[in-house]
C-alpha cells in the first residue's frame, strides 16, 4: 500500500506540471478489485473572470495585481480533519465508501490588467478508497454512485480555501453583498457526472484486458453576474463569471459492463468460441424462422 501511495504522489506532482489550461476538470478512477482499492485522481480546474471598465476605480485598484499560491499536503490517518471532511461528502452519495489516504496539491494564480482580473485555481486531490466492492462467485461489482459528489462550503487546508473563490476577492468591496452567491458555487463539483454509467462511452481492449468508461459534460458556467454602477457621473458595467468543464474516465482491469451506478467485472471477456456459438445459433434461428414463413406462404 505504501508503494502505491508513493507512486501516486509522484504522479500527482508530475500532473501539476503537465495539466492543460484552466477549467478542464477531470475525475480519473482506477479500480483495483484484487486489492479492494480504488485510486481517484481528482483535478478541479476552474477560472474566475472579472471584467471592469478601463479608468474606473476598480481598474486602478486591481491593475498590476499578481499573486501565486502553491502548496501540497498528504493525509493518511482517518482522524485527519481533511480526510474526514472529504469522506463525509463521498459518504453522502454512498455510505460504505472510506478514504484511506489523501494527497492535495493546490495552485492559484491571480493576475489583473486595466480591464480584466483572472483567477485560475487548480486543485489536485489523490484519494485511495475502500468499501466499494462486492464479490460474488462469478463476478465483482463496484458501486460508483459516489463519483457525482460536490464539496459545499469552505474546504480549508493550510489556511487557504481550496473550494471557493470568495476569499480571493476580499479587496473588491462591491462584491461584499454578493459573497454568499460566489461562495455557494462550489468548484470541486462533479455532479455533472451523475449520468448512469451504462450511458457512458465504453471500450474494451483485448490486448491489455482492460475496460475503460468515459464521459465528458459540456462547458458549465457556475456563476454569471452583471453589476451596474456610476462613478464620477460615469456609467460602468462589471461582469463576473466562474467556469468549469468536468469529465471522467474509469479504468477497470478485466471485462466490465455497467448498470446504472455499478460496474460488473469479469476476469476476462467471454470466450470467442462462446461468442461464435451464440452467433451461429442466432443465424440458425433466423434461417428457421424465414424458412417457416416461406413454407407457409408456398402452401397458401
185 and 275 housed in the same domain: no
- 294 and 196 in a common domain: no
Tell me the residue range of the domain where 257 lies. Answer: 2-269
How far apart (Å, rounded) are the C-alpha atoms in residues 170 and 182?
12
Same-domain check for residues 6 and 124: yes
pLDDT means per 10 residues in the chain (300 residues)? 46 37 78 96 92 88 92 91 95 95 96 94 96 88 95 91 87 71 86 93 96 85 81 80 88 96 90 44 46 54
What was the pLDDT predicted at 70?
96
Q: Are residues 232 and 297 in the same domain?
A: no
User: Do residues 144 and 279 both lie within one domain?
Assistant: no
Question: For 164-169, which contacts have Cβ atoms below 8 Å and span 24 or more sequence positions?
Answer: 165/46, 165/48, 165/119, 165/121, 165/242, 168/48, 168/67, 168/108, 168/110, 168/119, 169/48, 169/50
Specify whether 221 is located in the same domain as 276: no
State the pLDDT at residue 157. 93
Residues 235 and 277 in one domain: no
C-alpha to C-alpha distances, 223 to 211, 278, 279, nearest whole angstrom: 36, 52, 52
Q: Do 261 and 200 belong to one domain?
A: yes
The count of structural domains within the chain is: 2
Same domain, 186 and 158: yes
Same domain membership, residue 262 and residue 277: no
- Joined grid coordinates for residue 76: 493518511
pLDDT in tens, 3-42: 544 444 443 333 333 333 445 789 999 999 999 999 999 9
Amino acid at each position: 500500500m505504501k508503494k502505491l501511495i508513493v507512486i501516486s504522489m509522484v504522479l500527482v506532482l508530475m500532473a501539476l506540471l503537465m495539466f492543460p489550461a484552466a477549467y478542464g476538470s477531470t475525475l480519473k478512477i482506477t479500480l483495483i478489485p484484487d486489492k479492494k482499492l480504488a485510486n481517484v485522481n481528482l483535478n478541479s480546474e476552474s477560472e474566475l473572470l472579472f471584467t471592469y471598465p478601463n479608468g474606473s476605480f476598480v481598474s486602478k485598484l486591481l491593475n498590476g495585481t499578481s499573486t501565486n499560491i502553491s502548496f501540497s499536503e498528504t493525509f493518511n490517518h482517518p482522524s485527519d480533519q481533511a480526510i474526514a471532511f472529504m469522506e463525509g461528502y463521498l459518504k453522502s452519495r454512498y455510505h460504505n465508501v472510506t478514504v484511506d489516504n489523501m494527497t492535495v496539491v493546490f495552485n492559484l494564480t491571480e493576475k489583473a490588467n486595466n480591464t480584466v482580473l483572472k483567477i485560475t485555481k487548480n486543485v489536485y486531490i489523490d484519494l485511495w478508497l475502500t468499501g466499494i466492492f462486492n464479490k460474488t462467485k462469478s463476478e465483482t461489482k463496484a458501486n460508483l454512485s459516489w463519483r457525482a459528489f460536490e464539496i459545499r462550503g469552505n474546504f480549508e487546508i493550510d489556511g487557504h480555501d481550496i473550494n471557493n473563490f470568495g476569499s480571493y476577492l476580499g479587496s473588491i468591496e462591491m462584491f461584499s453583498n454578493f459573497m454568499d452567491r460566489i461562495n455557494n458555487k462550489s468548484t470541486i463539483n462533479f455532479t455533472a457526472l451523475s449520468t448512469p454509467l451504462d450511458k457512458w462511452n465504453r471500450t474494451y481492449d483485448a490486448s491489455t484486458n482492460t475496460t475503460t468508461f468515459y464521459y465528458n459534460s459540456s462547458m458549465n458556467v457556475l456563476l454569471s453576474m452583471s453589476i451596474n454602477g456610476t462613478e464620477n457621473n460615469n456609467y460602468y458595467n462589471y461582469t463576473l463569471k466562474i467556469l468549469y468543464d468536468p469529465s471522467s474516465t474509469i479504468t477497470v482491469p478485466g471485462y466490465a459492463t455497467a448498470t446504472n451506478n455499478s460496474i460488473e467485472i469479469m476476469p476476462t471477456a467471454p470466450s470467442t468460441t462462446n461468442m461464435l456459438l451464440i452467433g451461429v445459433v442466432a443465424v440458425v434461428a433466423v434461417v428457421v424462422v424465414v424458412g417457416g414463413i416461406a413454407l407457409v406462404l408456398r402452401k397458401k
